[in-house]
């Protein structure tokens, strides 16, 4: 758990610095920083995807995981959690706290309507939570930390997350800090279950989980950071669990 604690501290420090000094930066500078993070996140996601040994496993995991995520309404749950934190710890300011997408979206009725305004608090919470908790360092680092107490990988991740949180918080605000709760539950939970996870997850399973995580990161870049197209990325998170199950089934059937 030491690595997770370090990670939480760096995110809090980065967020506080971002909120303190970020407002002094011109809007165009902050937009450029976020765009740079979006491009970098997308490239890292592509790099992770290339670790797959069977792209069909990634596709199947994303489809099944996405259906489960929509059924369980994971993104809505994260958004509701963000709303709860926002109501408890911030004062709403309609003039500054919401951003409305500039382009309309198609509806099932065939017409066009404007997408509802998105709270910056919720956007910061969702974006930071997904970015900080998706990736090979999260899984491998948490397992290593839990099994041997070696938090080297999580320490590296903590430094990266600290710089990312600085950039996020300068634009998206205090919601970024509350992503530390997701880090605590997710990374900490993996560390506590590390012995069982290490015994069950093979190299092939880990590769496909990494590849799925890469696709999710690309989704984050496209949706939340570059704002090219709105995607309910959170609903694809079950795919991270589906991927090793698919690999296990294919190995049992000797198809992989």
72: left (phi over 0), alpha (psi -120 to 50) or beta: alpha
Q: How far apart are CA 21 and CA 14, in angstroms?
A: 11
Contact 131, 164 (CB under 8 A): yes
Of the CA atoms within 13 Å of residue 46, those in its CB half-sphere come to 7
With 0-12 / 13-18 / 19 or more C-beta atoms within 10 angstroms meaning exposed / middle / buried, residue 100 is exposed
Residue 21 has pLDDT above 90, yes or no: no
> pLDDT tens across 63-106, in order?
999 999 999 998 888 778 777 776 776 655 544 444 444 444 44
* Six token digits for residue 167: 């950039």
Residue 249 pLDDT greater than 60, yes or no: yes
Q: Is the pTM of this model over 0.75?
A: no
Strand runs (DSSP E) across the chain, as ranges? 98-99, 105-106, 112-113, 118-119
Please compute the mean of the pLDDT values over residues 150-163 and round it to a whole number.
84
pLDDT tens digits, one per residue of 206-240:
889 889 988 988 988 888 778 898 888 888 989 98
pLDDT attached to residue 255:
82
Tell me if 198 sits within 8 A of 18, measured CB to CB.
Answer: no
In contact, 127 and 220? CB cutoff 8 Å:
yes
Residues 80 and 251: their CA atoms lie apart, in Å, by 39
Contact 211, 51 (CB under 8 A): yes
Please state, in angstroms and rounded to a whole number, the distance separating the CA atoms of residues 195 and 216. Answer: 26
Q: Delimit the domains of the chain by residue range.
A: 2-97+115-252
pLDDT of 129 higher than 90: no
CA separation (Å) from 74 to 89, 137, 142, 234? 23, 23, 23, 6
Report which listed range, 186-190, 193-197, 240-244, is most confident: 240-244
Angle at the Cα of 71 (from 135 to 196), degrees rounded to 5? Answer: 45
φ/ψ of 175, rounded to 5, equals: -55, -25
């Amino acid at each position: 758990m030491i690595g997770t604690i370090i990670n939480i501290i760096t995110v809090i420090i980065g967020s506080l610095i971002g909120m303190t000094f970020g407002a002094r930066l011109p809007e165009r500078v902050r937009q450029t920083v976020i765009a740079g993070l979006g491009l970098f996140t997308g490239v890292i996601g592509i790099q992770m995807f290339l670790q797959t040994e069977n792209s069909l496993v990634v596709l199947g995991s994303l489809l099944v995981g996405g259906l489960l995520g929509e059924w369980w309404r994971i993104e809505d749950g994260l958004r509701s959690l963000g709303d709860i934190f926002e109501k408890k710890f911030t004062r709403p300011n309609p003039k500054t706290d919401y951003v409305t997408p500039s382009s309309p979206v198609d509806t099932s009725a065939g017409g066009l309507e404007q997408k509802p305004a998105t709270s910056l608090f919720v956007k910061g919470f969702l974006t930071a939570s997904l970015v900080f908790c998706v990736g090979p360092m999260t899984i491998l680092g948490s397992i290593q930390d839990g099994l041997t107490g070696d938090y080297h990988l999580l320490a590296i991740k903590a430094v990266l997350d600290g710089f990312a949180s600085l950039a996020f918080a300068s634009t998206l605000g205090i919601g970024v800090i509350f992503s530390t709760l997701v880090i605590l539950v997710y990374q900490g939970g993996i560390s506590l279950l590390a012995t069982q996870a290490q015994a069950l997850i093979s190299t092939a399973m880990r590769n496909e989980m990494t590849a799925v995580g890469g696709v999710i990161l690309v989704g984050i870049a496209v949706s939340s950071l570059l704002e090219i197209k709105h995607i309910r990325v959170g609903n694809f998170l079950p795919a991270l669990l589906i991927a090793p199950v698919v690999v296990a089934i294919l190995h049992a059937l000797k198809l992989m």
